[in-house]
Structure 1
Amino acid sequence: MPKISLKGSKMPSSPIRKLVPYAEAAKKRGTKVIHLNIGQPDIKTPRIALDAIKNSAIEVLAYSRTEGSEEYRVKIAKYYAKHHLKVEAEEIIVTTGGSEALSFAMGSILDEGDEVIIPEPFYANYNGFATANGVNVVPIVSKLEDNFSLPPISEFEKLISPKTKAILICNPGNPTGYLYNKEEIEQLAELVKKHNLFLIADEVYREFAYDGKQHYSLLGISGLEDYAIVIDSVSKRYSMCGARIGCLVSKNKEVIQTALKFAQARLSPPTLAQIASEAALDTPQSYFDDVIEEYVSRRDLLISELQKVEGVKVAQPSGAFYCVVELPVKDSDDFAQWLLEKFNVHNETVMVAPAAGFYASEGLGNNQIRIAYVLEKEQLKKAVHILSEGLKQYHNS
């Protein structure tokens, strides 16, 4: 029998999705599963985006331009201008989700065996993109007790080697919900200029900044034009995860020209989804005001309820809609599977994302989970109660 590739065997499973078979089995047994594991918002997609598809007069669903339609890219540039970020349409490549943008970025600036430094815990698929591109992730630990703030720059410098080509951050963070402040972004900017590295920022949650705090984009840092690559997406901003439309943004012309070659190999991003995404850019600010108010309310309730559970520690997110929770267990993978296989409260249970998969360092995150607070408050409150009761029984079983 032919063998699969070494790269394929090393490809990590998603900590977010690997427990799906157990969740499906629970549902078949008649158990309701409350999903805390995945960042699929229940917020409604803007009607203007859905109507754009519904009312489209397209008769032939053709390819778009490789870099995305000019109309859409011009409109994205105008979106950034509203946020006081000067970007030209030619500095944007529309991608099939933020995931493809990340893959294009890695492929464009990193060769096999090169290293990218990433503060951990980080979005689990960064491991997958790195593996697919033959790139080595060098993790730098951010800690729950520090609310997952940026590690000291001196610690970054210790990790920089001749193979280091980039630093990658997620701002606000997935899975931590941490929002980097201006000083932290400027420190990273000075670091990459000093060592001639790229700085990649995954900014797909940029609209979700709470408590009066402001999101600081790499695109707004003067002097970083040759070093900065920004990843963006409509998935979470407009609750359009299924559209699979993102973009790669950089003022570095060589980066854009190189990424375009990767884009040409996959022909074009989805045409219909671009139509919806272009229309979504006309969504009024009131939509985001309401969404942010709702997420803050959900966050506050979730944190309050979790803090009542004995032995549980939780960080305070300032953006996105995730939090990392430390549990009084040794193996959150086992606990998460046990919740789905062997536990329920009134025929309901919860599905969480074990956090070990959000780390690259062996042994970290084994007693942590990520919770996505994308459900209505009553569901969140019920989910924490089930989690609390589960912890009690798990320890006794």
Structure 2
Amino acid sequence: MPSISEKGKHMPASPIRKLVPYAEAAKKRGTHVIHLNIGQPDIKTPKVALDAVRNHNIEVLAYSMTEGSETYREKIAAYYAKKDIQVTAKDIIVTTGGSEALSFAMGTIMDTDDEIIIPEPFYANYNGFATAMGVNVVPIASSIESNFALPPISDFEKLISEKTKAILICNPGNPTGYLYSKEEIQQLAALVKKHNLFLIADEVYREFAYEGRQHYSILQEEGLENNAIVVDSVSKRYSMCGARIGCLVSKNNEVVQTALKFAQARLSPPTFAQIASEAALETPQSYFDEVIAEYASRRDILIAELRKLEGVKVAVPQGAFYCVVELPVVDADDFAQWLLEKFEMEGDTVMVAPAAGFYATPGLGKNQIRIAYVLEKDQLVKAVQILGKALKQYNN
């Protein structure tokens, strides 16, 4: 029998999606599953984006430019300018989601067995992208005790080797909701310049920062032009996860031109999704003001309810719409599966994402889960009540 690749064997399963079969089985039994596991916003997609697709007059659905349509990239650059980020259309490659942008970035700057340093916990698919590219993740642990703040720069420096090519951050963070300060970004900028490394920032949650905090992009940092690569996406910003449109942005022309060759191999990003994404850039600020206020309100209620549960510890997000919760259990994977297989409260149960899959260090996060607060507040309150009762029954 032919064998699969070692790379395939080592490709990690998604901690966000691997429990789906158990959730589907629960639903078939008649149990209502409250999904806390996935960052699929329930906020409506801007009407202007949907109308752009409905009202199109395309007669031949042709390939677009490999790097994305010029008009769309020019409008993306204009969007960045409003955020005090000065780039041009030639600095941007439109990708099939932020996922492809990150894969292009890794392929562009790294060879097999090169290393990338990432503060953990981090977006679980970073492990998958690295495995696919033959790249080794070197994790550096942040702690729930410090709200998952940036680890000391001296700890980063200890991990830098001849194989190190980049540092990757998610800002604001998934799964932690941590928002890096300007000072922390400047510390990282100084470090990558000192060691001639790239700094990649996944900034897909840029819009979602709370209590008046301001997101500071690595592209705003002067003198970092040759080192900075930004990964971005429309998925969360406009509640358009199914559009699968993102972009890679860098002022380093060699990076962009090399990434373009990876983009040419997949031909072009989807045309209709680009039309919707271009139109979405017309979304008024009032839309984001309302969305941010709603997420902040959901966060506050979720945190307040979680703090009522005995033995539970929770980090307070400053951005995005996730939080990491430490539970009084030994194995959150087992607990999450048990919730779907063996527990319900008045016909309801919850689906969570075990946090061990958001770490690269074996053993870390075993008693943690990630919660995405992308549901109505009454559903969040109900979900925490279910968690509380489930924990008592599970531990007994």
Post-superposition shift, 1:84?
Answer: 1.2
Q: Does 1:161 align with 2:161?
A: yes
Equivalences for 1:56-205 in 2 at 5 Å?
56-205=56-205
Identify the residue that residue 289 of structure 2 maps to in structure 1: 289
State the one-letter code of the partner of 1:46: P
Identify the residue that residue 212 of structure 2 maps to in structure 1: 212
1:91-129 per-residue CA deviation (whole Å, 9 max, x = no partner) reads: 000000000000000000010000000000000000000
Distance 1:382 1:41 in 2: 18
Post-superposition shift, 1:297?
Answer: 0.1
Distance 2:83 2:194 in 1: 28
State the one-letter code of the partner of 2:66: T
Distance 1:276 1:231 in 2: 19
Q: Does 1:225 align with 2:217?
A: no
Distance 1:333 1:84 in 2: 42
Distance 2:383 2:299 in 1: 13
Identify the residue that residue 352 of structure 1 maps to in structure 2: 352
Identify the residue that residue 395 of structure 2 maps to in structure 1: 395
1:293-335 per-residue CA deviation (whole Å, 9 max, x = no partner) reads: 0000000000000000000000010000000000000000000
Distance 2:51 2:212 in 1: 33
State the one-letter code of the partner of 1:15: P
Identify the residue that residue 384 of structure 1 maps to in structure 2: 384
Distance 1:86 1:157 in 2: 30
Percent identity over the alignment is 80
Distance 2:213 2:119 in 1: 21
- Unaligned stretches of 5+ in structure 2? none
Q: For 1:33, what is the secondary structure of its paired residue?
A: strand
Identify the residue that residue 269 of structure 1 maps to in structure 2: 269
Post-superposition shift, 1:212?
Answer: 1.3
State the one-letter code of the partner of 2:146: D
Equivalences for 1:285-324 in 2 at 5 Å?
285-324=285-324
Q: For 1:371, what is the secondary structure of its paired residue?
A: strand
State the one-letter code of the partner of 2:394: Y
Q: Does 1:48 align with 2:10?
A: no
Post-superposition shift, 1:374?
Answer: 0.1
Post-superposition shift, 1:248?
Answer: 0.1
State the one-letter code of the partner of 2:326: E
Distance 2:56 2:392 in 1: 54
Post-superposition shift, 1:292?
Answer: 0.2
Distance 2:85 2:111 in 1: 30
Q: For 1:48, what is the secondary structure of its paired residue?
A: helix
1:198-238 per-residue CA deviation (whole Å, 9 max, x = no partner) reads: 00000000000001111000110000000000000000000
Distance 2:299 2:64 in 1: 39
1:318-363 per-residue CA deviation (whole Å, 9 max, x = no partner) reads: 0000000000000000000000000000010000000000000010
Q: For 1:21, what is the secondary structure of its paired residue?
A: helix
Distance 1:193 1:249 in 2: 18
State the one-letter code of the partner of 1:282: E
Identify the residue that residue 370 of structure 1 maps to in structure 2: 370
Distance 1:62 1:331 in 2: 50
Q: For 1:201, what is the secondary structure of its paired residue?
A: strand
Q: For 2:279, what is the secondary structure of its paired residue?
A: helix
Post-superposition shift, 1:378?
Answer: 0.1
State the one-letter code of the partner of 1:70: E
Post-superposition shift, 1:50?
Answer: 0.1
State the one-letter code of the partner of 1:322: Y
Q: For 2:93, what is the secondary structure of its paired residue?
A: strand
Distance 2:166 2:219 in 1: 16
Post-superposition shift, 1:144?
Answer: 0.1
State the one-letter code of the partner of 2:378: E
Distance 1:298 1:227 in 2: 37
Distance 1:164 1:225 in 2: 19
Distance 1:195 1:61 in 2: 46
State the one-letter code of the partner of 2:235: S
Q: For 1:324, what is the secondary structure of its paired residue?
A: strand
Q: Does 1:237 align with 2:237?
A: yes
State the one-letter code of the partner of 1:6: E
State the one-letter code of the partner of 1:353: A
- Unaligned stretches of 5+ in structure 1? none
Distance 1:251 1:395 in 2: 53
RMSD of equivalent CA atoms:
0.3
Distance 1:61 1:125 in 2: 31
State the one-letter code of the partner of 2:305: E
State the one-letter code of the partner of 2:319: G
Distance 1:250 1:213 in 2: 24
Matched pairs, number: 396
Identify the residue that residue 253 of structure 1 maps to in structure 2: 253
